[in-house]
């Protein structure tokens, strides 16, 4: 097939055929199409968009460009995907909770890059933890214990891997069809039968506005329907870190604290984790409705079953399960520095992206894929938006490898915080829910 003619047609805004889209994905996967040609088509798609049918065909073609898992796990394999955020440790809470309720969580996660953290990096702060395993062993673990979280296989959607790298250097990242097909192709290839999408919105999100977040969520829900997959998308807030802990070992510690019952049930991280998990239980058929799902999840959280399941998952993946009883085994940074509030008032806003980059420069994240992380470093926020703060009070504790990096991070964190003399409301947790019936606002009792 003449690839130049495909570029030409999309340049004119025409709809590509399924065969043309398959040629696009195949050429990306096997290297037969040059980078400059792929880049040209990516830009044409960015400028002229794609129909839902085109986006579905691209999603399926990229999924089929490598291994396609068809896991038999004794139930509907369910997955959750987040578009990325700061202090977002929901996977390590909801995966064991859903498994403790009888769900089957088949999760392939990624590493962090830029200001967002990666679940696989967090898990590697657990001594001995394996984040890669053969596909048969991965599926068997899900079948037997209910959950397993590993890194994405190199054989999974190779077309997307190449196109993703090109999008990053050709200013085509912010294309809804390309984002949607990239996310869903990996989920389809991993064998997920039901998917809950956590689409972040706010200052620390890929999609900073509610309108853009709904557009992306709606596109993915429609592609799921056209592809025969059950998908629900939740629009959740990223105006500030979701959890109070930011950094790899620190976030694992907070997840363990939540599952151990050491945290208030009103903690935003806990509430959002349970909310996402409730949709996972409904989509996979374990619970008949959200109310019943929430009751099951809170019960498993309070009776310790969720922590027990996390301990089983860690042991199954070669990690030291004793971290569930002694989080000091995760390691601690040698330097701690308090960030003091400069004035009396209320925390009115945070620049969440700047906070994420402060953690990255401490060594908790990557500027490039080759960077080596310090899994111990990060920071713990002691105040959230809407909280009263007094001058000289500790609002954040930095965990660093040395005093110089600690001082730099403290300055960066303080510059990302805005204080107000007047009271202000807390940030919103759940903004919208998008499913096959459209967009709706969640009910007042849904986060209960």
Do 337 and 321 reside in the same domain of the chain?
no
Cβ neighbourhood burial of 36 (10 Å; 0-12, 13-18, 19+): exposed
Question: Could you give the CA distance from residue 263 to residue 173 in angstroms, rounded to a whole number?
Answer: 37
Q: Is 25 within the bounds of a domain?
A: yes
Q: What percent of the chain has pLDDT over 70?
A: 99
At 378 the three-state DSSP class reads: strand
The pLDDT confidence band at residue 436, using thresholds 50, 70 and 90, is very high
Among 71, 66, 106, 51, residue whose Cα is nearest residue 223: 51
Q: Clarify whether residues 136 and 285 are in a common domain.
A: yes
In 262-402, which ranges are continuous DSSP H helix? 268-283, 290-302, 305-316, 352-359
Residues 370 and 407 in one domain: yes
Residues 298 and 362 in one domain: no
Tell me how far CA of residue 30 lies from CA of 24, 26, 34, 38, 206, in angstroms: 10, 6, 10, 12, 29
Catalytic site residue 11?
A: no
Is residue 204 pLDDT above 90, yes or no?
no
Residues 305 and 212 in one domain: yes
CA 388 to chain centre: 30
Q: Could you tell me if 393 and 407 lie in one domain?
A: yes
Q: And the tokens for 10? A: 């999309």
**pLDDT surpassing 70 at residue 241:** yes
**Average pLDDT across the chain, whole number:** 94
- Average pLDDT, integer, range 415-434: 96
Q: What is the pLDDT of residues 153-201, one digit of tens each?
A: 778 899 998 998 899 889 998 899 999 999 999 999 999 999 999 999 9
Q: In DSSP terms, which residues pair with 262 in a beta bridge?
A: none
180 within some domain? yes
Q: Which of 122, 167, 187, 311 is catalytic?
A: 167
* Co-location of 416 and 433 in the same domain: no
The enclosing domain of 368 has a CATH number of: 3.90.1170.30
Contact call for residues 237 and 429 (beta carbons, < 8 A):
yes
Beta-bridged to residue 197, according to DSSP, are 81, 233
User: Is residue 53 annotated as a catalytic residue, yes or no?
Assistant: no
Are 228 and 344 contained in the same domain?
no
Print the domain residue range for 171: 77-326+429-440
Please state the pTM of the whole predicted model: 0.94
Entry field: residues in the chain: 448
103, 221: one domain: yes
Q: Is 230 a catalytic residue?
A: no
Residue 445 lies in a domain: no
What six digits make up the tokens of 210?
Answer: 């509610």
Whether the predicted pLDDT of 1 surpasses 80:
no
Asked, for residue 448, whether it belongs to a domain, the answer is no
pLDDT of res. 32: 95
Instruction: Name the active-site residue from 57, 79, 160, 435.
Output: 160
Rounded CA separation 83/208 (Å): 11
Q: How confident is the model over 350-390, as pLDDT tens digits?
A: 999 999 999 999 999 888 778 889 999 999 999 999 999 99
CA separation, residue 42 to residues 32, 168, 390 (Å): 16, 11, 51
Alpha carbon distances (Å) from 106 to 7, 149, 150, 259 = 37, 7, 9, 20
Q: In this model, does residue 448 exceed pLDDT 70?
A: no
12 catalytic per annotation: no
pLDDT digit string, tens, across residues 392-411: 999 999 999 999 999 999 99
Q: Looking at the predicted structure, is the pLDDT value of residue 109 above 90?
A: no
Examine residue 376 and state whether it is found in any structural domain, yes or no. yes
- The per-residue pLDDT for 213 is 95
Q: Is residue 71 part of a domain?
A: no
User: For residue 113, what pLDDT is reported?
Assistant: 66
Residue 268 sits in the same domain as residue 304: yes
Ranges 144-153, 287-296, 370-379, most confident: 287-296
Predicted confidence band at 140 (pLDDT cuts at 50, 70, 90)? Answer: very high
Residue 421 has a CB neighbour count (10 Å cut-off) of: 9
Measured CA to CA, the distance from residue 283 to residue 197 in angstroms comes to 12
**261-275 pLDDT, tens digit each:** 999 999 999 999 999
> Are 155 and 194 in a shared domain?
yes
Indicate which residue of 80, 186, 245, 383 is catalytic: 186
Domain count, the chain: 3
182: annotated active-site residue:
yes
Q: Is residue 316 part of a domain?
A: yes
Residue from 22, 81, 161, 309 carrying the catalytic annotation: 81
Backbone angles phi, psi at 96, to 5 degrees: -70, -30
Per-residue model confidence (pLDDT) at position 156 = 86
Q: How confident is the model at residue 251, as a pLDDT?
A: 97
Give the 3-state secondary structure percentages of the chain, helix then strand then coil, rounded to 5: 45, 15, 35
Please check whether residues 282 and 225 belong to one and the same domain. yes
Domain ends where: 63, 86, 115?
63
Average pLDDT over residues 130-151: 94
Q: What is the CATH number of the domain that holds 318?
A: 3.40.1030.10
Query: For residue 371, what pLDDT is reported?
Result: 83
Binning pLDDT at 50, 70 and 90, where does residue 114 land?
low
Tens digits of residue pLDDT in 11-53: 999 999 999 999 999 999 999 999 999 999 999 999 999 999 9
pLDDT tens-digit map of 298-344: 999 999 999 999 999 999 999 999 999 999 999 999 999 999 999 99
**Structural domain contains residue 72:** no
């Amino acid at each position: 097939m003449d690839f130049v003619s495909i570029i030409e047609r999309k340049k004119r805004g025409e709809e590509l055929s399924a065969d043309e889209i398959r040629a696009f994905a195949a050429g990306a996967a096997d290297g037969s199409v040059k980078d400059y040609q792929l880049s040209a088509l990516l830009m044409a798609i960015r400028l002229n968009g794609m129909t839902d049918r085109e986006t579905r065909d691209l999603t399926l073609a990229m999924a089929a460009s490598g291994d396609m898992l068809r896991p038999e796990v004794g139930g509907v394999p369910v997955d959750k995907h987040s578009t990325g955020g700061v202090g977002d440790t929901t996977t390590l809470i909801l995966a064991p909770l859903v498994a403790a309720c009888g769900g089957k969580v088949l999760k392939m996660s990624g590493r962090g890059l830029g200001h967002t953290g990666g679940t696989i990096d967090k898990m590697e702060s657990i001594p001995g933890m394996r984040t890669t395993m053969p596909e048969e062993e991965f599926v068997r673990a899900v079948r037997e214990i209910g959950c397993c979280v590993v890194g994405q296989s190199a054989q999974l959607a190779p077309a997307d891997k190449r196109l993703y790298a090109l999008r990053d250097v050709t200013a085509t990242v912010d294309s809804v069809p390309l984002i949607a097909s990239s996310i869903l192709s990996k989920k389809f290839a991993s064998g997920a039968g039901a998917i809950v999408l956590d689409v972040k919105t706010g200052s620390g999100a890929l999609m900073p506005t509610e309108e853009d977040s709904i557009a992306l969520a709606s596109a993915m829900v429609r592609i799921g329907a056209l592809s025969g997959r059950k998908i629900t998308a939740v629009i959740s807030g990223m105006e500030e870190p979701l959890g109070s802990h930011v950094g790899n070992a620190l976030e694992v510690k907070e997840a363990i604290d939540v599952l151990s019952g050491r945290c208030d049930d009103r903690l935003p991280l806990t509430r959002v984790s349970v909310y996402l998990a409730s949709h996972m239980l409904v989509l996979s058929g374990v619970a008949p409705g959200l109310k019943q799902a929430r009751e099951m999840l809170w019960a498993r959280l309070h009776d310790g079953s969720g922590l027990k399941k996390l301990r089983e998952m860690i042991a199954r993946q070669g990690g030291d399960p004793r971290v569930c009883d002694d989080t000091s085994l995760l390691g601690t940074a040698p330097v701690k520095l308090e960030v003091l509030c400069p004035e009396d008032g209320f925390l009115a806003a945070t620049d969440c992206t700047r906070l994420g980059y402060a953690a990255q420069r401490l060594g908790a994240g990557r500027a490039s894929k080759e960077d080596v992380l310090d899994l111990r470093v990060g920071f713990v926020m002691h105040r959230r938006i809407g909280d009263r703060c007094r001058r000289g009070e500790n609002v954040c504790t930095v965990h660093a490898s040395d005093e110089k990096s600690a001082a730099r991070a403290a300055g960066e964190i303080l510059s990302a915080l805005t204080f107000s003399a007047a009271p202000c409301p807390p940030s919103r947790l759940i903004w919208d829910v998008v499913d096959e019936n459209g967009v709706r606002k969640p009910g007042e009792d849904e986060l209960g």
